[in-house]
Amino acid sequence: MGIRQIIRKPGLAGIWQIICRGGPVCPPFQNILSRFDIHWFMASMATGATGIFSYLIGQYLQFIFLDYLAVEFILLAFFIFMLCSVFFLLRLLFFYREVIHDIHDSMLSVFFPAISISASILSTAISNVMFPLGLFSFDPHLGYLLALIFYGFGMASGMGFLLIISYGFSVSQTIEITQANGAWLLPPVGLFVNIFAGNFLIAHFPGFIGHSLLIFHVFALGIAFFSYFLMLSLLFHQLYCCPPPLREMAPALAVPLAPPGVSVIALLSLEKALDHFPQLASLQNNLSPFIHVYVPFVIGYGCFWAILATLIMARYVKEKNIPFTLGFWAFVFPVAAFGIAIFLTAQNPLFSFLNGVAIFLWGTSLLLWSFTTYKNLLHLLPRN
């Protein structure tokens, strides 16, 4: 077929054929693109969260080298996110049917919020790590603009994915309770992360916009909490009343550790953001007692789940050979998020003893990140 006939083909398919016939390297690239896995975004959010956690621990221990380590993690998270975004957009353009199929797949659709989580984690990293370290001192407005763009994209995509997934689950005739797993909690987790990413930027918004954004976050918290409790009830029903999940889904057992962590961060950051708006003092006075009760309660539940998940995973390892998949990134982010929540809670003198727990979880998240990265490199690098 000649070039003119290819150009006459409608839409992007013709352009894609021109590209693919341009050189011998393209067919393998086309194969990689068609098989691009949405789980790669979990690598970005896990790496970014580990970087933020490293910065907080470094500030507490006064270890300056952890500041450099945190920046390296965050820059790597930016690189992974941008690379994954390019692959995802190309796949959406040239293999949109496969993307639509993935969105309708109950096992895969719940991982799409990893896109919004990654974006909001990067926004949080800019406002809470890169700014305090002076990395945007040459142009602070650029830094705030980048943080705002990542937050806006994260919030819009997070709300969209939550609505699409909830609608898909509601009308599907094929989803069964036996399919429930920890990954089903990712949509509400994404919304919690979107909320605290915006809370950290509230102080830089004009009065009316910041005021309206805070009110919006309060309503969004209601959506996140009720979605979380609904999915959690389905997960416990599956765990107690159904056969164990497939061994490939074993890493999803760590995901239920994320909602306690990100919800605590969202509430604590909301309480702090309300300090900038005296006109919302009545709202703050009503929320503060709930926050001060909720935080230790949910931290206790998180510790319970961490022990339970560890015992279940130990049984999986003993009885079954768990194959390595990209889902292993699910181990890293929940541990880092829960550790950050414990660290922030420990800033209250009443819970200062939790600092040791936070440092332990930081070390655990580093080990999990290193192990998962090593295993990914083994799968990506060519073998002789």
89-94 long-range Cβ contacts below 8 angstroms, 24+ apart: 90/33, 91/33, 91/34, 91/36, 93/12, 94/12, 94/13, 94/16, 94/33
CATH code for the structural domain at 36-380? 1.50.10.150
134 φψ region: left (φ > 0), alpha (ψ -120 to 50), beta (else): left
In sequence order, which residues have a C-beta less than 8 Å from that of residue 334 and are 6 or more positions away? 254, 255, 256, 257, 258, 261
- Does residue 3 register a pLDDT over 50? no
Average pLDDT, the chain: 85
pLDDT confidence of residue 212? 86
Residue with tokens 């965050």: 74
Show the tokens assigned to 181.
């797993």
Give the pLDDT mean for 5-11.
44
- Nearest Cα neighbor of 74 from 31, 122, 3 is 122
Q: Where are the domains of the chain?
A: 36-380
pLDDT confidence of residue 365? 95
User: Contact, 345 vs 264, CB < 8 A?
Assistant: yes
pLDDT confidence of residue 172? 77
pLDDT confidence of residue 160? 93
- At 95-124, the pLDDT tens digits run 888 888 888 877 788 889 999 999 999 999
pLDDT confidence of residue 168? 85
Share of the chain above pLDDT 90, in %: 50
- At 320-352, the pLDDT tens digits run 667 777 778 888 999 999 999 999 999 999 999
pLDDT confidence of residue 345? 94
Separation CA 30–CA 47 (nearest Å): 27
Angle (CA) 143-144-146 rounded to 5° is: 65
- At 225-278, the pLDDT tens digits run 999 999 999 888 888 887 777 666 777 888 999 999 999 999 999 999 988 888
